[in-house]
Amino acid sequence: MKKIYFDCFAGISGDMIIGAFLDAGFSFSNLEKELSKLNITGYSISHEKCTKNNIAATKFNVNVSSDQSHRSLSKIIEIINNSGLGDKAKQDAISIFKIIGNAEAYIHNTDIESIHFHEIGAIDSIIDICGAAVCFHELGITQIISSPLNTGCGNVNTSHGILPVPAPATAEILKGIPVYAGNISAELTTPTGAAIIKHYCKNFSNLPDLKIESIGYGAGTKDLVIPNVLRIFIGDCAELDMAADEEVIEIETSVDDMNPEYFSHLFDLLTEEALDISVVPAVMKKNRPGHIIKIIAHKEKSDIIAKVLFRETTTSGIRIRTVKRKTLERFFISVKTEYGEIRVKVHKIDKMPVTISPEYEDCKRLAREHKVPLKNIYNEAILKAQGVL
């Protein structure tokens, strides 16, 4: 089981992520081969060793050799879908672009397809995002943890003029993620870096228990009073079956006057914020039938979840308590079946798999594409996973 920790003391950007992966040992020729499958021209990529405040790091460069037109989100998705990248890398890259697109649309008060991507639609952003997706997939990373993000402070020049740091779109992407400004007057966390870490990472903490195998330093463009590098730790935690006790919050509310059809919409809104969501039927005061909504989440998600509950349900009050939970370490593998590639979640105790769970969204998509029963896809994925474990 591969675990990676992002140490974002100098922020995070797309080129820093790829530079850190290359510095930790990822093959540049393999990255170059995979990115060539995008079938876009007018650029080349390179990497070089450099030092930032006497720390050796790897700088990843995208060298644009011809004018590139601004691209809409649908055009970027078309490029990715028509490429030869693996299914998982495609899905991840598209999801990351949608995070950025939704943030831009919200900030500019328009619909996502009306957004003309300037910096984000540029060739270097496409390469950074797709390259990061390739690195995550090829290395078989199963658990991603990050430190809080240093955003920097001051102002930044953009296509929309001079904006405060973090820029509005970056700040929108960073909702729900622990951040701090520090005292460096520069943009340290970019929209691309913020979107990549938001897509992949759900756990933000100090350096976890880890048997370190490799460390990578990805260099940024600026020279700062601190080393402008992203540091990553990659390690093997296959023997850490039982995670340490963790403090989380339990948010609970009761409703007896809400249309049950609203629950599906509520679940969709909270999927990215909550660790677990459940709705329990109950008998309320005056013998009215109702429901108890229970949500388990990390502490920093408290205000976001409370706002969603107040806005989307009929409740006028919620209960929040701190609880401890003990969990099995879980990791993902990707298996190739006759229907396509499927992610599978695995839990182990004493090095033996106790639960093998194919990802529902992958199975549902393939069942629809091949017009076969969903259970056939599940069974095939489980059999393939058992052959690997």
Q: What is the secondary structure of 146-175 as a DSSP string?
A: EPPEE--BSEEEETTEEEESSPHHHHHHTT
Residue 209: Cβ-neighbour burial (10 angstroms; 0-12, 13-18, 19+): exposed
Is the whole model's pTM more than 0.85, yes or no?
no
Q: What is the pLDDT of residue 55?
A: 97
Helix (H, G, I), strand (E, B) or coil at 70: coil
Conformational region of residue 9, where left means phi above 0, alpha means psi within -120 to 50, and beta covers everything else = alpha
What is the C-alpha separation between 45 and 62, in angstroms, rounded?
5
Q: State both tokens at 284.
A: 């309320």
182 neighbors 228 (Cβ within 8 angstroms): no
What is the C-alpha separation between 317 and 255, in angstroms, rounded?
10
Torsion of CA 44, 45, 48, 54, to 10 degrees: 120
What is the C-alpha separation between 228 and 207, in angstroms, rounded?
19
Q: What is the pLDDT of residue 350?
A: 67
Q: What is the pLDDT of residue 238?
A: 47
Q: State both tokens at 90.
A: 């495609």
Q: What is the pLDDT of residue 6?
A: 98
**What does pLDDT average to in each consecutive run of 10 residues of the chain (389 residues)?**
91 97 97 95 94 97 77 88 94 94 86 63 87 93 92 81 88 94 93 96 86 95 96 76 72 93 91 90 90 93 94 94 84 88 85 86 94 95 87
Q: What number of residues does the chain have?
A: 389
What is the C-alpha separation between 178 and 139, in angstroms, rounded?
26
Q: Helix crossing, 123-139 with 191-200: angle to 10°?
A: 30
Structural domains of the chain, with CATH: 2-236 (no CATH), 246-325 (3.30.70.1380), 330-388 (no CATH)
Q: Helix crossing, 374-388 with 360-370: angle to 10°?
A: 120
